[in-house]
Amino acid sequence: MNRCFAVVGNPGGRRVTLFAEAVRAAGLPAPRVVPWLDVLRTGGAEFGDEEIVRVDPPGEHPEVDRLLRGVPDPTRVEGTARWYERFTAALGTLRGGIRLDGTDEVAVMFDKRRCHAALAVAGVPVPESPTSGAAGAPVRGWDDVRALMREHRMPRLFVKPAHGSSASGVLAVDSAGGGRIRATTSVELDAEGGLFNSLKVRRYQRERDIAAIVDALAPDGLHLERWVPKASQDGRAADLRVVVVDGRATHAVVRTSAGPLTNLHLGGRRGDLSGAQQAAESAGLRWPEVLGICERAAACFPDTLCVGVDLLPAVGWRRAFVGEVNAFGDLLPRLTGLPGSGAEGLDTYAAQVAAALRRAPLAGRPGPHHPHRTGTTHASA
């Protein structure tokens, strides 16, 4: 059977474009693009037995966002619970084809409480959380957060929307002297109590403002995690995004920040990967062990070809924890594969094309003859 690719995504978007380039560079026809807007409006999509189906996230499209979240302004933070319900339902309307993701697994990854519990059960090191899993404590608002901070002796913690992404709605909360509370977040709170995503990271010093944000987010579901003090690089907090393709850690980028949020779109910077490796090795944390933690996390989702793992190295680089596993964590343009990963010279999309063809080879052809190669390790995340 002659295989071909199809992708569910937003036509013209960065992810769809990069994946299509990788498919064509492998000497294959461009993938058939099925717009998310059509999927949502018509109630699904059908794929042929010969089609290898990649699903991209439905973000960066105002009308798709409106249909999923029910919020007219795409910069608003609220509506993640409705988004999650409608998005996971839409995944179930994609019929046929050879899927590169597991629908149920994506649903788990997009619920931080369920994802944390799955990782913990598998023995993957994760930050302590009182909200993890079905038996986790409910968070109905700021009063519950305060109570859990006292009960679990968590003076510093992250408050995360259970179904959020890209640090949207995340608050890094810490207790100052005299019982004072402060929070670092990208959430902009307006005079009417509306919450908006912002590229500017803010620090809120008044507890009533923090409480207003948490109370507004709580109906969508919240997940709490102990704040693990991160290792540093050049005086800045550092963590890693590690991409795992078909069970192997293939790509990695260090993200550094002057504050607790390292996301590059919020002002984080790319760090020195070789420096991070040397620091870990010097502290007794072997680099294969670092990558192995990420591969163990990915193994919790065996039906999903590619995931992005957020790895949190602790102070001194002696330990590492998994903060999140992202179903769509591969947007690292022009980043080439790690030495020994089998993806040397390949970007994240070319690595996935090659892996997908190993899973479902073309007739008379085990894999791409001309893999998509790039000439730089520049990355963004």
**Low-confidence spans in the chain with pLDDT less than 70:** 1, 362-381
pLDDT tens by residue, 239-293: 999 999 999 999 999 999 999 998 888 888 999 999 999 999 999 999 999 999 9
| Distance between CA atoms of residues 265 and 268, nearest Å | 7
Token pair of 354, please?
Answer: 């090659």
pLDDT score, position 368: 37
Evaluate if pTM is beyond 0.85: yes
Task: Centre a 10 Å sphere on the Cβ of residue 121 and count the other Cβ atoms it contains.
Answer: 11
pLDDT tens by residue, 212-233: 999 999 999 999 999 999 999 9
| Distance between CA atoms of residues 206 and 220, nearest Å | 23
> What own/partner pairs with CB < 8 Å and gap ≥ 24 does 121-126 have?
122/296, 122/297, 122/299, 122/300, 123/296, 124/293, 124/296, 124/297, 124/300, 124/322, 125/293, 125/319, 125/320, 125/321, 125/322, 126/225, 126/321, 126/322, 126/323
Task: Centre a 10 Å sphere on the Cβ of residue 65 and count the other Cβ atoms it contains.
Answer: 21
